[in-house]
């Protein structure tokens, strides 16, 4: 199964060329996806290294987007960090 990744670890990957994002308690490495993202690179860079769930949901992404994102899943957010839900990563 996929590994557990802490928010502290996610925060280290906060650059365009090393871009991890938390969406709905799952961690995605979007470094390679950003050039293909129909919503542009900048939107992904703006949430690099943090929780981008709100931004992702605000767009109202399609089912197709949900399929694509599976390819970039690298792990689950660590249980200890999931409890801090309201917090902005
Ligand atoms: C793995 C994560 C993501 C995937 C696979 C993804 C994929 C897509 C796809 C396929 C579209 C085209 C429209 C659709 O099918 O819904 C899209 C549009 C868009 N996405 Fe993402 N996206 C991701 C994350 C994000 C995040 C985190 C943000 C914001 C920070 C974002 C912002 C946008 C915007 C602004 C659009 C354009 C909407 C429009 O043209 O009206 N996306 N994305």
Q: Does any domain span residue 88?
A: no
31 vs 58: CA distance, rounded Å:
21
- Ligand 1 atom 35, closest CA: 39
Q: Does any domain span residue 23?
A: yes
Q: Does any domain span residue 87?
A: no
- Ligand 1 atom 15, closest CA: 62
pLDDT of the residue at 84? 59
What confidence tier does 2 reach under pLDDT thresholds 50, 70, 90? Answer: confident
7 alpha carbon – ligand 1 mean position (Å)? 22
86 vs 22: CA distance, rounded Å:
13
80 alpha carbon – ligand 1 mean position (Å)? 28
Say how many domains are in the chain: 1
Mean pLDDT for all residues in the chain: 93
Domain span at residue 31 reads 3-82
The 10s digit of each residue's pLDDT in 17-50 is: 999 999 999 999 999 999 999 999 999 999 999 9
6 alpha carbon – ligand 1 mean position (Å)? 24
Supply the CATH number for residue 76's domain.
Answer: 3.10.120.10
ipTM over 0.90: yes
Q: Is the pLDDT of residue 85 over 70?
A: no
């Amino acid at each position: 199964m996929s590994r557990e990744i802490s928010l502290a670890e996610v925060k280290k990957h906060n650059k365009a060329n090393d871009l991890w994002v938390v969406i709905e308690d799952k961690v995605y490495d979007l470094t390679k996806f950003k050039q293909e993202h129909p919503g542009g690179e900048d939107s992904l860079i703006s949430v690099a290294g943090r929780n981008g769930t709100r931004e992702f949901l605000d767009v109202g992404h399609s089912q197709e987007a949900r399929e694509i994102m599976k390819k970039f899943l690298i792990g689950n957010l660590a249980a200890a960090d999931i409890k801090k839900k309201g917090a902005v990563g």
